[in-house]
């Protein structure tokens, strides 16, 4: 039972991390100190997709599911829970580009807000 809970908690944490990667830059508009953790998160997210790095959250979920007697993850987190489930595989590149544009928009907005705040000071 504990392994099932760990697997589920890891899955939720992974979804939260993905949401943070895509939209976390907007949090930095509110709390500027959050820009650096977001830059790191985006770098890690990009590296896992572009370079094929293994994500430790995927490893933990797979391990916990196997320990719980369930089938582990045969593919990565995104391939298991999003691609072909939430959106068709043919839209993967489009959605990656859109996620990148959301990140860039949040960063540009962050910089513009910082510049405006500095000009007011």
Q: What is the pLDDT of residue 1?
A: 87
Percent of the chain with pLDDT over 90: 87
Q: Which residues contact 82 (CB under 8 A, 6 or more apart)?
A: none
Rounded to an integer, the average pLDDT of 26-45 is 97
So where are the chain's domains? Answer: 2-120
Interval 65-102: pLDDT, tens: 999 999 999 888 998 999 889 999 999 999 999 999 99
- Of the candidates 78, 79, 61, the residue with the CA atom closest to the CA atom of residue 70: 61
Interval 7-19: pLDDT, tens: 999 999 999 999 9
């Amino acid at each position: 039972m504990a392994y099932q809970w760990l697997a589920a908690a890891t899955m939720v944490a992974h979804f939260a991390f993905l949401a943070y990667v895509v939209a976390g830059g907007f949090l930095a508009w509110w709390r500027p100190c959050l820009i650096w953790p977001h830059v790191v998160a985006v770098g890690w997210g990009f590296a896992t997709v572009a370079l094929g790095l293994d994500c430790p959250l995927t490893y933990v979920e797979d391990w916990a599911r196997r320990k719980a007697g369930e089938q582990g993850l045969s593919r990565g987190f995104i391939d298991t829970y999003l691609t072909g489930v939430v959106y068709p595989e043919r839209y993967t590149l489009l959605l990656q580009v859109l996620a990148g544009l959301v990140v860039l928009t949040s960063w540009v907005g962050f910089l513009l807000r910082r510049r405006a705040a500095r000009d007011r000071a």
